[in-house]
Amino acid sequence: MPIVATLAAIGAFSFVSGGYIFSSAAVIVFVYVAVLIAWLWLAPRSLPMPRLHVLGLAAFAAFAVWEGLSVVWSVGPDLSWIAFDYAALYVLAAAAAVVIASGRVHLRVVGYGYLAVATAIAVYAFLGKVVPNVVTHAHTFARLDSPVGYWNVLALMMVMAIPVALAAAGHREHAVVLRAVAAASLALLIFTFFFSYSRGGYIAIVVCLAVYFVLANTRLSSLLSLMLAAVPVGLALFHVRGLKTVFSPTTDDALRTAQGHVLGRWALLAIVVVILAQVVTALVHRRVRVPRAVARFVGAFTVVAIVVGVGAGAFVYTGSRGGLAHWMKTRYEAVIHDSDTRQAGGTPGRLLSLNSGRPSLWHEALKEFPTHPWTGTGAGTFRFTHYLYRGGTGVVKHAHNQWLNVLSELGLIGLALFVVAIGAFAVAALRRLSGDRHDRDRSLLAALQAAVLVFVIHMSWDWDWDMAAATLVFLLFAGTAASYVAARRRAIAVPEAPPEELGARRDYGWALRALVSGLLVLLVASWALPYLSQRAYSEALVASGNGHTTAAAADARRAHRLDPLAVDPLITLALVQQQLGEGQVALATLDQAARLQPQNYEVYYQRGLLYMNVLGDYTAAAQQFHTALRLNPYDALTSAELQLLTNR
């Protein structure tokens, strides 16, 4: 039940912007927690847990508590509350992934279950290319990001599924139909991955495949499956290279639809070819057993050929550009300073550009760190750091590096807890990399291990952690791999012992079940209050827009009661009070918001407008606008109002 519930949550989160939007994710969380509470009372009285993963869970729970405590000193306490809710959800998912039995069936349910979820995501995403008149999410942009909502996370989720597809397609004992279906899924994953145009995704897939082929014990068949899928997909893409609207943005709906249908026909042909090729390969694979020595020779030869080919190509390429040292120096400077003349747009050409905008965000996080070295500014508050230190008008909410983001928001204490937690999860999942080579599911385990490592690497330059869909995949894979590795170790060391006798056992008596159930009910309540507050806030905006000021004021007050840490309901209430002619009352409301979040520039901007347009105190208005600009120097609206005030 925990596995199925987590996989279902991953799929549901994926189709609501990756779970990033709190109000959309909350309903899924309510159902997910309810299922796990039911399972808790139906589960065996005791279950095993790998000891190293228990350490990771303890550090992870402490990290979540630290996020919750940061509400006390946070510059955006409502944001810290929501960040805590996500962290608590992640702790729950991490625990659910590891407290289950860890046999072969569970490994396959996790791996192949996620492959099914990723394939469904890939189908929906790719339909935006081939039938844009029906599935309209890719209506304007050339890059695919739906249903997840962010192209780089979409690419990452495809990458994490690709080695699972390789393990399934290359497994000798699997039914031919299953191997063919896995091959078809692999082709769809590759199509979707390509159209995400994610540069970080290409780094991730290289690392993921390298780790997989090092750890797997079906290298030859997996490599063949990869070639059988990648070559037809590559040929199909090469054939349609002249279809401009497929690879570039356009506003011509008719042309986009016509060319999308052409892409669809060639993609379908490629998938059919992949299926047929995999069926033939599977039938031959069953009847012809390649000698181990031959397989090792072919594998070694392939690795050597790839290394030599890449090395020779790199030598020739860099040699014509001033040598390896000079080329690496210029590339490094281009990355750090975003000085690459090849601009990163929304077309395949962006794959060649080194401009990412990330180094400046990393610098902002490091610049904030000395201000609050131990505690940070509060969970979820990097946006305020960005407002303060940014060099332009662009707005982001994450440092695009999870480690630096944690350092900025939660200080050294938060970073230490986070490093211990993620490190323990990764080490527990990646133990015994070179052992147990005769396990017939070793390749599937390698696929999960490769995906775990890739997620840890990828979140070092992106905001994957804020996407519940991707983070739950990481936690599910890490817990499953850790449990399976521990079970295999125990089975090899003590063959006569029951498979469930492994790791540290936890007795789930009635008292513990009641305690955990109570904590989960509190988790639901912690999600429910901001969720209901946001709904009331939305209703206040609608009522205000329709001229129903009394109802809008009531809704805004209700939103504030449900989430007393948020300032948005207070700002809306102040605007409604101004509409009712209650200027001084509105000022008192904004004063309350300023006491609640003194680092929020929006409060001072609204107070400046109130002083200028309602109370007629231009001196006070100017002071408020200057304070807002001190907190957000590049805010265009505040600058415009201050200029207007100066011209009076």
Q: Which CATH number does the domain housing residue 617 bear?
A: 1.25.40.10
Per-residue CA distances from 648 to 608, 609, 615, 621 (Å)? 15, 14, 15, 12
Distance of alpha carbon 623 from alpha carbon 605, whole angstroms: 10
Distance of alpha carbon 233 from alpha carbon 39, whole angstroms: 43
Residue 600 lies in a domain: yes
> What is residue 111's predicted lDDT score, i.e. its pLDDT?
93
Give phi and psi for 476, each to the nearest 5: -65, -45
Distance of alpha carbon 277 from alpha carbon 294, whole angstroms: 22
Contact by Cβ (8 Å): 71, 596: no
Count of the separate structural domains present in the chain: 2
Low-confidence ranges of the chain (pLDDT < 70): 44-49, 100-102, 138-140, 290, 292, 294-303, 306-307, 310-311, 313-321, 324, 326-327, 329-347, 349-356, 432-437, 490-508
Give me the domain span that covers residue 203: 108-289
Per-residue CA distances from 55 to 389, 433, 455, 539 (Å)? 37, 20, 20, 44
> What is residue 47's predicted lDDT score, i.e. its pLDDT?
61
Residue partners of 186: CB distance under 8 A and separation at least 6? 162, 165, 166, 169, 225, 226, 229, 274
Look up residue 297 and give its amino acid: F
If 0-12 CB within 10 Å is exposed, 13-18 middle and 19+ buried, where does residue 644 land? exposed
No. of H helices and E strands in the chain?
A: 25, 2
Distance of alpha carbon 212 from alpha carbon 218, whole angstroms: 10
> What is residue 434's predicted lDDT score, i.e. its pLDDT?
63
Distance of alpha carbon 11 from alpha carbon 147, whole angstroms: 10
Q: Taking the alpha carbons of 176, 179, 185, 190 in that order, is the dihedral positive or negative? A: negative
What DSSP character marks residue 266? H
Distance of alpha carbon 233 from alpha carbon 267, whole angstroms: 7
Choose the final residue of a domain: 289, 324, 352: 289
The whole-angstrom distance between residue 203's C-alpha and the CA centroid of its chain comes to: 16
Contact by Cβ (8 Å): 603, 589: no
Choose the final residue of a domain: 234, 269, 289: 289
Contact by Cβ (8 Å): 471, 10: no
Choose the final residue of a domain: 238, 255, 289: 289
Q: Taking the alpha carbons of 443, 108, 459, 152 in that order, is the dihedral positive or negative? A: positive
Distance of alpha carbon 281 from alpha carbon 169, whole angstroms: 10
For 144, the token pair is: 């695919």
What DSSP character marks residue 379? T
What pTM value is reported for the model? 0.92
- In this structure, the strands spanning 504-507 and 46-49 are antiparallel
Virtual CA dihedral for 186, 189, 194, 200, nearest 10 degrees? -110
**Composition of the chain by helix, strand, coil, percent to 5:** 75, 0, 25
Residue 29 lies in a domain: no
